[in-house]
Structure 1
Amino acid sequence: MTDRSEEVRRLREAIKAFAAIEDDAACTAAVSEVLRDWPDLHAELRQLRQDRVNNLRNERRTWPEIAEIIGDVTPERAQQIGKGLRGKKRPKAVNPRTKAEADDPPV
């Protein structure tokens, strides 16, 4: 097992540990805490990846090589990651309450 897959395995185990919390309230609180922090954690991971991609470029790796290291991206996307550009924006989730209110005819 490589260092990379070891870290991914440990993260997945941490997620399973949340699921193993028997007390529903404690599990809900713990997961909610992580989700509140997720935007910052996500930004840190993106920055770490960008920095490492740029290190690979400084080591004279090609964009196709870096794309292969990243996995499941094109060389063009690898280059975008190196520049800190985000991928396609996901569609915004629709709040069911807001949608229901919008679908109701005015009284």
Structure 2
Amino acid sequence: MDEEVQRVLDSIDALGTDGDAADRARRLTELLDDWPDTHAKVRGMRQEAVKEMHESGMSLRKIGEELGVSFGRVRQIIAGETAGQAKRKAAAETE
């Protein structure tokens, strides 16, 4: 795992272990309150990076290999579809 990603995950873990219960609960509540906006921001940053890879000439398959996801998922990321949206769309098409 990337060192920077691991530091972020370690920081999140520390929110649940450092301090007394009230402090932990307050910090975790704050994180959860901000999580939807943060999650959307991270998804958007990933989408832009994947678009940049594709616009530089990389194929969807090659991008998928680099990221460890399918080329179909790469297409969904570029289109801004979340995994949940893609699953709901696929389920609706089979009905």
The interval holding the TM-score normalised by the smaller chain is: 0.7 to 0.9
What CA distance in whole angstroms lies between the structure 1 residues aligned with 2:29 and 2:65?
34
Highest Rg: 1 or 2? 1
What CA distance in whole angstroms lies between the structure 1 residues aligned with 2:16 and 2:39?
21
For residue 40 of structure 1, report the CA deviation from its aligned partner.
0.2
The count of residues paired between Structure 1 and Structure 2 equals: 86
Runs of 5+ consecutive residues of structure 2 not aligned to the other structure: 88-95
- Confirm whether residue 70 of structure 1 aligns to residue 73 of structure 2: no
For residue 58 of structure 1, report the CA deviation from its aligned partner.
1.1
Trace 1:41-80 onto structure 2 (pairs within 5 A). 41-71=38-68, 73-80=69-76
TM-score for the superposition, normalised by structure 1 = 0.73
Runs of 5+ consecutive residues of structure 1 not aligned to the other structure: 91-107
Percent sequence identity is 33
1:11-31 alpha-carbon deviations (Å, 9 max, x no partner): 111022112323000000000
- Confirm whether residue 88 of structure 1 aligns to residue 84 of structure 2: yes
RMSD, aligned CA? 1.6
Extract structure 1 runs of 4+ deviating beyond 2 A: none
